[in-house]
Amino acid sequence: MPATKPGPSSSAPRRPLPSGSPGKLMSELGRRGPYRVLRGDLGIVGMRGQVFSPDSGRRLPAIAVGHTWMADSQRYRDLLYHFASWGFVTVAPDANSGFFASDIGLAADLRAALDIVSHVPLGHGAVTVDPDRLGLVGHGFGASAAVLAASDQALRGHRAPELGGVVAAFPAPTTSALLPAAALVRAPGLIIAGAGELDTMDANALPLAQAYGADVVLRTVPRGAARDLLERRTIKSFVGMNGSDRALHAMIRAAGTGFLLHSVAGEKGFGGFADADGAVGKLSAVDLTDPPVQAVDAVSHLLGAKPRKRRLKKR
């Protein structure tokens, strides 16, 4: 792989990992972490995509990130950088980003990307990955692909990896292979969805969590939708605005980072992020045995209908 290049915050000082309850940690984990970050390109190994990593470190944890439909890793640059700043070698393949994208194809690419960074030194040899500390992250279409990649079955010649954890943000229905594959996952999972989008025509967080084969936590954000996580590069990017919903982006990166530090990196003090019984900041936990009833049916939701507001009767 080519030598990775320093990111814009490469002078950030190292500092100890924070501690405290998950609610208190959310604010800290929503900000950049203690590691200086390098960026590289996967093109030299025959795969389109990007890799972000800490500037140095031996046997670091690594994650592969799957993009949503009709998007690529450029729409997640700040998110990828964020994970790397907290100590994760973060790789994001760009294949299967067109109209006829394949969820199984992207899942195979995620496995291949993890395999590459697990065996190829980065940053002029200063960075290596621990093959026993691997994880997957995905958004939308890529969230479902991440679950497929985590399943205990071969995909296009790529064997199932040993994973520490899976984060699926706003998962979307893909093909009939998804839910049977979810039952074959052995790594703990975190699934995040909108409060009103647990089971709709374009969101399947609840059935995915119910089919999941390992320990899983389903959390909902109070507001926001899948599209709000996508970054858009405009002139405002020069002043730190990436075009996504800032509050939602902060919640997703904080909750995802905390869960990955616990499940993949094996760091102590972050177990609360994998606790299915309590809220984490503004993210509520869903009881999979007694989920909330959707206020709008799936078809009406797809057409943009909103829940009716109850009017108080005048006495």
Cα separation, 226 vs 246, in Å, equals: 13
Is 308 inside any structural domain? no
Environment class of 82 (CB within 10 Å of its CB; exposed 0-12, middle 13-18, buried 19+):
buried
Which tokens sit at 34? 């203690």
Which amino acid belongs to residue 198?
L
In the prediction, which pLDDT does 225 show? 86
Position 252 in a domain: yes
Range of the domain at 233: 5-302
Whether residue 311 is contained in a domain is answered as: no
Q: Mean pLDDT of residues grouped by 10 in the chain (315 residues)?
A: 45 63 92 95 90 95 97 95 97 94 96 95 91 98 98 92 97 97 98 94 96 98 90 57 78 97 96 92 94 64 52 47
**pLDDT at residue number 278:** 84
Q: What is the pTM of this model?
A: 0.87
Residue 307 lies in a domain: no
In a domain, 222, yes or no: yes
- Tokens at 76, concatenated: 């997640």
Question: Taking the CA atoms of the chain, what radius of gyration do you get in angstroms?
Answer: 19
pLDDT of residue 273: 96
Q: Which residues contact 241 (CB under 8 A, 6 or more apart)?
A: 234
> Looking at residue 14, what is its pLDDT?
56
Question: Does residue 62 lie in a domain region?
Answer: yes
Biggest alpha carbon distance in the chain?
A: 75
Establish if 86 belongs to a structural domain: yes
Alpha helices in 30-90 (DSSP H): 77-85
The pLDDT value recorded for residue 294 is 65
38 is a domain residue: yes
Domain total of the chain: 1
Q: What is the CATH number of the domain that holds 240?
A: 3.40.50.1820
User: Taking a C-beta distance cutoff of 8 angstroms, is the pair 233, 242 a contact?
Assistant: yes
